[in-house]
Amino acid sequence: MSADAQDFKSALGRFASGVTVITVAGQDGDHGMTASAFCSVSLEPPLILVCVKKGNTTHGLLTAAKGFGVNLLSADQVSISNRFAGWGFPEDQDKWADLEISRGATSGAALIGGAMAWLDCTSFAAHDAGDHTIFVGLVEAAESFGERDDLAPLLYFAGKYRDAGQTL
């Protein structure tokens, strides 16, 4: 017997995670989704993973795409996270209109200005995982912005956005 869904969700809410926007270039334009289920997998070769719920629009696009982008958000990008999570952003408004973006040379995905870092990935593997798929990306290019001591990542913890606070 597996854990109760609410107990499982409550327990995992006690694990702080960084916030990313996963981007993919679709035939009808750019798409993105907020994701905290992201982590590094391997240094050699450089691999990352992101878990995406089946049925999500971005899930279908990632399944078909040659690659995707990962944007690691800073603490001042809460509104961007909300926008791509579908929270409080008008559906009839273009999510990309006011954003500064560049393009991943490999994936063609939108890379969001102001992010602490971005990764341009080739699709490497996809693994079935219950109601999600684990998409593994081979990192073809990465760029980081800002000085280490000045970085302020956007975190998600216990159902709320947080920042990293003081260095211990």
d(CA 101, CA 92): 20
For each of the chain's 168 residues, which pLDDT tens digit applies? 899 999 998 999 999 999 999 999 988 899 999 999 999 999 999 999 999 999 999 999 999 999 999 999 999 999 999 999 988 888 888 899 999 999 999 999 999 999 999 999 999 999 999 999 999 999 999 999 999 889 999 999 999 999 887 777
Report the CATH fold assignment for 19-160. Pnp Oxidase; Chain A (2.30.110)
What DSSP designation does 153 have? B
Q: Yes or no: say if 145 and 5 are a contact pair by the CB < 8 Å rule.
A: no
Q: Domain extents for the chain?
A: 19-160
- Using CB atoms within 10 Å of the CB of residue 67, give its burial: 0 to 12 exposed, 13 to 18 middle, 19+ buried: buried
